[in-house]
Amino acid sequence: MTSAPILSLQNLTMRFGGLLAVDDLSFNAKRGDITALIGPNGAGKTTVFNCITGFYEPTSGSIHVTHDDGKKFALEKLPDFKIAQRVHVARTFQNIRLFAGMTALENLLVAQHNRLMIASGYTIFGLFGLPGYRKAEREAVELARHWLEKTQLTERADDPAGSLPYGAQRRLEIARAMCTRPVLLCLDEPAAGLNPRESDELNVLLRSIKNETKTSILLIEHDMNVVMEISDHVVVLDHGKKISEGTPDYIRNDQKVIAAYLGVEEDAVEKVEAEVGL
Amino acid sequence: MSAARTGNSSVLSHALKDALIAAIVAFGLFMLLLGFLTDDSRGPLRLLTRPVLLATTIGIVFVGRFLISLIYYNATTLRYYLGALWTAICSLAREFKIALVVLLLLIGGGWVFFSPKDWPLILITVATILIGVRFGFSAALLVFAALFPVAFYNNPYFLGIAIIILTYVMLGWGLNIVVGLAGLLDLGYVAFYAVGAYSYAIIAQAYGWSFWVCLPLAGLFAAFFGILLGFPVLRLRGDYLAIVTLAFGEIVRIVLLNWVSLTNGPNGIGSIPRASFFGIPFNATETGFAAKFGLEFDPTHRTVFLFYVILALALITNWVTIRLRKLPVGRAWEALREDEIAVRSLGINPTNTKLTAFAIGAMFGGFAGAFFATRQGFISPDSFTFPESALILAIVVLGGMGSQIGVAIAATVMTASFELFREFEQFRLVIFGFAMVGIMIWRPRGLVSTREPTAYLKERKTISVEHVTEGRG
C-alpha cells in the first residue's frame, strides 16, 4: 500500500480557443477519501473531470493516478477508453448516459465487458458456450446483483434503464461505474435532481462504497448537504482557478468561497481580490 | 369495455350512414365524369353511358368509407371484438389441444384420401400448424422452410424463388449485425456480397477447389475487406459514415468493371464451377449424383441441394448472431448503438467493437456472395449495384432493426412480392414506395420493433420500442 495520493493534478490548463476553462490547477485527492470539487456554474468543474477521464486532452499540465501497488499512470495522453480499461477510473455523467434500451442488468454486464471478453476468449470460446466462459458470466451476474442490491434496484433489474425513474437512473449509473471495479470513481453531480430523501440515500451509498470497497471518490456537486456531510476534502474552483481547499468545515467559513458563491458588495470584491492576489 | 359493447349497434349504423353519404357524394361527382363518355372515333359524336364503371367506383367508395369509419374511427370497439375473438380461439385451442390435433389429422387425412397427389402439401401444412401451436411462430417457420422442397419438388419455379428469398434473408441477417445491432448505417453492403462472389469465382476457377473449401475463403476475404473499409471510416458518424460506405460500394463495383485482367470487366465471369454434393457432381453421367444414389436423373436434385445449402447458411448466420448478442461483444454492439460516450467511459474500445461488427457482417455477406456465384454460374458487376444495397437495407429497416424474425419476414415479403409483381414491372417501384410510406406511418420502427433482453435476473421482459435507440453510426 503506497502513501501517494490516488489522483494528483499538476498545473492542469485547458484552453478552448480564447476561453481559459481551467487555469493552472493543481490538487491531490487522497487514497480512500471522498474529495469534492465545487464551485459556481461555469467554474470549470466538468472540464476538469473530462480531462481526468480522457474525454478532453489538456492543453498543458499533468494528471497522475497511482494504484495501491504503487504503479503510476500519466492520464493526460491516454484516450478515454484506455483510462477506464487500464487505470480503472470510472465516471458518471451530469446528464445521465445509460443504455436506455437495455435492462438494468444488461447495463451492468456491459460495464464488465473487458473481463468477460477475456473469459470468452475474445468471443471464440463464448460462441460455443465453453464452461470457463459460463462461469465468468455467472460471476458477472453475481457482481451485478450485488450492486443492484446496494442501489436498491433489484426489483427493477429486468426493466429497461430508460423506464426507471430519475433517481433510480442516477443510482444505476453509479452501480454501472462500480461494476468496472474502479480504483477512482468520478461522479459528476450525482445528487442533481434528487429529492432530499434520495440525496440522503445517496450519502449512505457513497459512504458504503468508500468504506467497503476502498474506492476513492472524486465528486462534483452543488448539493451542499451531500458535499458537507460526506466529503473528507473539498476543492473550490472559480473561473478555472482553485480559490480554496480544505476540510468541509474550513470551506464553509472561508470568505473567498462565500464571496464566489454569493457575491459581495463592490468594495468587498476588491478587498477579496486583493487578498487572493488578482 | 361495457361502453364499447353497448356502442356496438350505433357504431355499425353510424358507419353505414357515413358510407351512404360518401356514396351519394361519389355518385354526384362521378356521374358526369365517369358515367358518360363522348366518343367520336367512329363517325359522328356519340354519347356513351358506362353504368358498370360508375357502379363499381361508387361501390368501392361505399365499402372503403364503411371500412374506414368502422376501423379508423372506432378502433377501440373493433379491437375489443377482435381481441375477444382471438382470446376465445386461443382458449379453445388450449382447452382442446388433443381435439385440435385429431381434427387437423382428420382434415389432412380426408384431404389425402380425396386427392392423394397433394400429400406433400398437406404434410407441410399440417406439420407447420401443429408445430406452430406447440412451439410458436419461429419453429413453425423453420419446419415450413425445411419441408418446403418436399412440398414443391415438382415446382422448380417456386424452389428458385425460395432460394432467392433465403439468400436475401441471409443478407438481411448479415447486415442486421451492422445496422441493427451496432447501429452503423452501411449503404455499401453489396460490396461485401460482390467480394464474396468474385473471390469464390476466381479461386474456384483458378485452383479448381471445391465449394466447401472456397466458401470460407470467400467469407474471410469479405471480412478482410470489411476491416479494410472499417479502419479509415469508422471514426465517422451517422450521415458521413453512410455516404462513405455508399462510395465504397461504388468503388468496388467500378474496380470490378475496370480490372479486366482479373474480373473480365463488364463481361463478367462465366462457367463458375457448380456446387457438388460433397464431391459428387449433379449430372447425368455414371459418376453423377443420380446414378450414385440409384435415382433417375433430374435437374431438380441440384436445386433442392442448393436450397438446403442456403437454408443451412442462413440458419448458421442466425445462430451466430443470436449467440453473439448474448456475448460481451454483442452487448457492446448494442451499447454502442445506445450511447457511444458511455461505452468509452466503461473502458470498451469503440473502434475494435465497430470493426468486429463490420467484419462479421461482411463475412456473412461474403458467404452469401459465394453461394450466389455457385448458383448462378455467372456473375458480372451488374448484379452488385447500389439498388441491391438499398434493397437489403430496406429489408433490415422494414423488419425492425435488430430483430431476426422481423428481418426474415421482411426479406420474404419484399423478394416474393418482387417476383409476384413481375408482370407489373413498371409499377413495382411504385408499390414498393407505397409499402415504405405505409410502414413509415404505421410501424415507423419496423415490423418487430421490440427488443429481447440478452440476460435476466428474474423474468425476461420484452423491451418496448420507445426506450430503444436507433443509433447514429
In this structure, are B128 and B224 located in the same domain?
no
B282 and B361 fall within a common domain: yes
Domains contained in chain A, number = 2
Q: Of the candidates A133, A155, A177, which is a domain's last residue?
A: A177
> Do B203 and B69 sit in the same domain of this protein?
no
> In the Cβ-directed half-sphere of B418, how many Cα atoms lie within 13 Å?
15
* Range with lowest mean pLDDT among B61-70, B294-303, B311-320, B338-347: B294-303
**CATH for A229:** 3.40.50.300
Last residue of a domain, one of B53, B85, B117: B85
User: CB contact, 8 Å: B335 with chain A?
Assistant: yes
As a whole number, the mean pLDDT across chain B is: 82
Looking at residue B1, its pLDDT comes to 39
| Boundary residue ending a domain (A159, A177, A195) | A177
Q: Is B432 exposed, middle or buried (0-12, 13-18, 19+ CB in 10 A)?
A: middle
Strand partners of residue A73: A65
Whether A61 and A187 map to the same domain: the answer is yes
Q: Pick the residue with more confidence: B293 or B353?
A: B353
Cβ–Cβ below 8 Å for B346 and A123: no
Lowest mean pLDDT among A108-122, A182-196, B179-193, B244-258: A108-122
| Residue A83 and residue A186 in one domain | yes
- The stretch A153-180 carries a mean pLDDT of 88
ipTM of this model? 0.85
A112 and A30 in a common domain = no
pLDDT score of B371:
92
Range of the domain at A141: 100-177
CB atoms within 10 A of CB A2: 13
Contact B108, B126 (CB under 8 A): yes
Tell me, yes or no, if B332 comes closer than 8 A to chain A by beta carbon.
yes
pLDDT at B192: 93
Amino acid at A137: E
Per-residue model confidence as pLDDT tens digits over B291-317: 677 777 777 788 888 899 899 999 999
User: Do A172 and A189 share a structural domain?
Assistant: no
**Whether residues A62 and A4 fall in one domain:** yes
Average pLDDT, chain A: 83
Same domain, A79 and A3: yes
> In Å, how far from its chain's centre is CA B275?
25
Tell me whether residue B352 is in a domain: yes
DSSP β-bridge partners for residue B49: B36
Residues B132 and B175 in one domain: no
Give yes or no: residues B315 and B378 share one domain: yes
Residue A189 and residue A168 share a domain = no
Distance CA A254, CA A233 (A): 14
Q: Which of B129, B147, B165 is the last residue of a domain?
A: B147
For B132-146, b/e burial (b = at least 16 CB within 10 A) is beeeeeeebbbbbbb
The verdict on B103 and B233 lying in the same domain is: no
CA dist A31 and B203 (Å) reads 61
A269 inside domain: no
Q: How confident is the model at residue B69 (pLDDT cuts 50, 70, 90)?
A: confident
Q: Do residue A162 and residue A145 come from a single domain?
A: yes
Domain coverage including residue B76 = 2-85
Q: How confident is the model at residue A273 (pLDDT cuts 50, 70, 90)?
A: low
E strand or H helix that includes residue A167: helix A166-179
> Would B456 be classed as within a structural domain?
no
Of B64-68, B282-286, B323-327, which gets the smallest average pLDDT?
B282-286
Burial letters A151-181, b for 16+ CB under 10 A, else e:
bebbebbbbbbbbbeebbbbbbbbbbbbbbe
The answer as to whether B455 is a domain residue is no
Distance of CA B299 to the CA centre of its chain: 27
Alpha carbon of A77 to those of A17, A85, B50: distances in Å?
20, 14, 83
Is residue A268 situated within a structural domain? Answer: no
- Asked whether residue A135 is domain-assigned, the answer is yes
Say yes or no: B188 and B76 in one domain. no
Identify which of B234, B338, B347 has the alpha carbon closest to the alpha carbon of residue A53: B347
CA distance B19 to B444: 30
B346 lies in the same domain as B218: yes
Q: pLDDT tens digit string along A41-67?
A: 888 888 888 888 888 888 888 888 888
**Selection from A165, A155, A184, A14 nearest residue A83 by Cα:** A184
What is the CATH classification number for the domain harbouring B384? 1.10.3470
Q: Name the least confident of A19-28, A127-136, B260-269.
A: A127-136
- Asked whether residue A186 is assigned to any structural domain, the reply reads yes
User: Which of these, A270, A249, A247, lies nearest to A259 by C-alpha position?
Assistant: A270
Q: How does residue B180 score in pLDDT terms, banded at 50, 70 and 90?
A: confident
Contact by Cβ (8 Å): B194, B252? yes
Quick: pLDDT tens for B85-119.
877 777 776 666 666 777 777 777 777 666 666 67
Whether A112 and A237 map to the same domain: the answer is no
- The residues in A 172-191 lying below 8 A from B, measured between CB atoms, are 176-177, 180
Residue A27 falls inside a structural domain: yes
Query: Does residue A40 lie within any of the structural domains?
Result: yes
Identify whether B436 is part of a domain: yes
A155 shares a domain with A125: yes
Radius of gyration of chain B (CA): 27
Question: Is A173 part of any domain?
Answer: yes
Contact B346 A106 (CB under 8 A): no
Nearest-CA distance from B400 to chain A in Å? 14
Tell me whether residues A157 and B458 touch, CB distance under 8 A. yes
Looking at per-residue confidence, does A179 or B135 come out higher? A179
B41 and B60 fall within a common domain: yes
Q: Which residues on A lie below 8 Å from B335 (Cβ)?
A: 99, 102, 110
- Among B320, B350, B457, select the one facing A105 at the smallest CB separation: B457
- Tell whether B244 and B314 lie within a shared domain: yes
Same domain, A80 and A186: yes
- Same-domain check for residues B26 and B103: no
A278 occurs within a structural domain: no
- Same domain (yes/no): B143, B165: no
Please indicate if any CB of chain B lies within 8 Å of the CB of A130. no
The answer to whether residue B473 is domain-embedded is no
* Residue B460 within a domain: no
Q: How many domains does chain B have?
A: 3
Q: Which of B260 and B469 is assigned the larger pLDDT? A: B260
Per residue in B209-255, pLDDT (tens digit) is 878 888 899 999 999 999 988 888 777 777 888 888 899 899 999 99
Q: Give residue B332's pLDDT.
A: 92
Are A176 and B456 inside 8 Å of each other by CB? Answer: no
Whether residues A119 and A223 fall in one domain: no
Contacts of A55 in chain B (CB under 8 A): 341, 344-345
- B450 assigned to some structural domain: no
pLDDT of A104 strictly over 70? yes
CB < 8 Å to B332, chain A: 110, 113
